[in-house]
Structure 1
Amino acid sequence: MGDVIFNNVRQCGHAKAVFQMFLNLFQVTGSNKGVGFAVVRALCKSYHGDVFLTSRGVGRGQAAIADLNKEGLQPKFHQLDINDRSSVDQLKSFLQTTYGGLDVLVNNAGIAYKKAHPAPFSERAEVTCKTNFWATLDVCRVLFPLLRPHASIPPCHSTITECSTAVQGRFKDPSLTMNGLEKIMQKFVDCALLCAVLSRQVNTRTMDSQTRRASCPRSGSFIQDREIRKDSREDIVINTCCSGSVTTDMSSHQGTKTIDEGEQFCRTYSETPGCDVVCVPVQV
């Protein structure tokens, strides 16, 4: 993931020495395990700035810090529950007071229901979108004002390969606004709830897959990239990357890559700022 960020800046014409001078504070959400943990590890090995590992549970986060300490790495920890606005606000206040800004934000936090979970699809759709889409968007809206010139935001996303061509077209529409995207997401949740009310049967396996993918559409990053280009702060880059099918709790350990291979995948393919660089389906 270190090279993901470096490649973003390199595309803007910066030398590596200048890049390392600018980026001093790294924030990775949902990083006590899985790909997020691997991203923290890679950043600690590659850069001299402060790298913050975050998790909902303080105990799990501190245990992850201890594991990295055993490897000779010194990440820092801050509690963060992206579904809790007060938790997000506390993180912002801490970063603003302690560092005066933020250089790199890796939005990795997210959830996925297990296939065998008894919850109905309507609940899965509502809860998953609440976390993976709206809570992540909330984190962006709270923390983006802290971004300093030359900052980088490489969000981790999934592919949307099982939606109809018409739906994919709506996500890919270059004129789509964030307000329009939020309406699409709300309609998806409303339709799921309506199916529950009408007691309609749905293909749970297919719809679960669509929920995981639809809940974190890459189009949101494209919209944010268009908006941030109008910002007076110089050279802020928003990219979108996908780790591929990784063996983690989120994929019920059904992936084909290790967490370090997943981190390497992002590093290899996320080379063009503001563009869709994902080329394979993914289990998140």
Structure 2
Amino acid sequence: MSVKVAVVTGSNKGIGFAIVRGLCKRFDGDVYLTARDVGRGKKAVADLEKEGLKPHFHQLDVTQPKSIETFRDYLKEKYGGIDVLVNNAAIAFKADATEPVAVQAKETLFVNYFSLVSTCEILFPLLRKGARVVNVSSSAGHLSRIPSEALRNQLKDPNLTVEKLSALMQQFVDATVAGTHAAEWGNSTYVVSKVGVSALTRVQQRLLNDKGIIVNSVHPGYVDTDMTSHKGPLTIDEGASAPLYLALDAPDSVKGQYLWRDSKIVDWEGELPGPY
């Protein structure tokens, strides 16, 4: 009987760290904390070991296909597959960032959307039957955040493909260079990146339906992390609650969905619920 394995990307701090903590307490198998920086990753593992937990560490930079491929080969050789994949790695520019919007758009979409796509393309072949994928989105990832009805219709198209979605995301990046993005896309590069993640989740579920694999996206809540400049009211463990529910507890009927931080399914195409 092969050992089960769970992987959390970008998990040396914040919500990802708390998801690893929760998995270590309850998941029946090996749990991998991954980080771009080896020193930070190993320190995070040591911190959890002080709590009596036993996470494993592997270096992973989701922006570097070679790094993802190295990790894939390691997992394939040691475990033969993946049972839980939590795509948590992401960046966000601060509200007072001075970089031009075109720079912010290129970097944010590269990490939060395009690197997620490449991570999934490389790791998805390892997903075992019954595997669960959790894409960490945001309240910013709700479809209502996009001003243009025409764009919203394209993003919720039941026949949307990864290629078409990626082309739309690139159109946004190009529009920021031209300075024509605001009317259709709005002004937040983070919003567009996370709407992309939420839309991607639905496409991925459709592609994996016949393989018995479950993919969902989740808004973890407004959490006290570096990313929110520690303005969020929730603890990282509270932020990990809904992602852990999807990874471990949600019924198999919950798939291709967008969940709120209270672990309730939200209509991604409807009105934005609150509070965040």
Q: TM-score, normalised on structure 1?
A: 0.82
Q: Deviations over 1:245-280 (max 9, x none)?
A: 111111111212111111124446866222222344
The residue number in structure 2 matching 1:249 is: 226
- Counterpart among 187, 195, 208 of residue 171 in structure 2: 187
Residue 273 (1) aligns with residue 250 (2): no
Q: Is the 8 A contact 2:2 2:79 kept in 1?
A: no
1:226, 1:93 → 2: CA distance?
26
Match of 2:38 in 1: 58
Q: Which amino acid aligns with 1:273?
A: K
* 8 Å Cα contact 1:245-1:282 kept in structure 2: no
- Determine if contact 1:126/1:189 at 8 Å carries over to the other structure: yes
CA–CA distance in structure 2, aligned partners of residues 110 and 265 of structure 1? 17
Distance 2:274 2:87 in 1: 19
SS state at 1:240 partner: strand
Counterpart of 2:160? 176
Within the alignment, does 1:211 sit opposite 2:193 as a pair? no
Aligned to 1:257, the other structure's residue is in SS state: coil
CA distance in 1, matches of 2:124, 2:37: 24
In proportion to residue count, which structure has more strand?
2
Instruction: Report the AA paired with residue 219 of structure 2.
Output: C
Q: Unmatched 5+ residue regions in structure 2?
A: 261-265, 267-272
C-alpha separation in 2, matches of 1:96 and 1:267: 24
Which residue in the other structure is 2:269 paired with?
Answer: none
CA contact (8 A) 1:57 1:79 kept: yes
Hey, what does 1:118 align to over in structure 2?
Answer: 98
Secondary structure at the aligned position of 1:154 is classed as: strand
The list of structure 1 runs, each at least 4 consecutive aligned residues, that deviate by more than 6 angstroms after superposition, is: 200-203
Aligned Cα root-mean-square deviation (Å): 2.3
* Residue number in structure 1 paired with 2:48: 68
In 1, Cα distance between equivalents of 2:182 and 2:257: 33
The answer for unaligned runs of 5 or more in structure 1 is 1-20
Task: Find the aligned partners of 1:23 and 1:133 in 2 and give their Cα distance.
Answer: 30
Q: Letter of the aligned partner of 1:135 in structure 2?
A: S
1:142 to 113, 116, 122: 122
What does residue 6 of structure 1 align with? none
Of 26, 39, 61 in structure 2, the residue corresponding to residue 81 of structure 1 is 61
Whether contact under 8 Å (1:244, 1:281) holds in the other structure is no
1:227 positional shift: 0.4
Distance 1:173 1:69 in 2: 45
Larger RCO of the pair (alpha carbons < 8 Å, separation 6+): 1
Shift of 1:169: 2.7
Instruction: Compare 168-177 and 222-231 and name the one that shifted more.
Output: 168-177
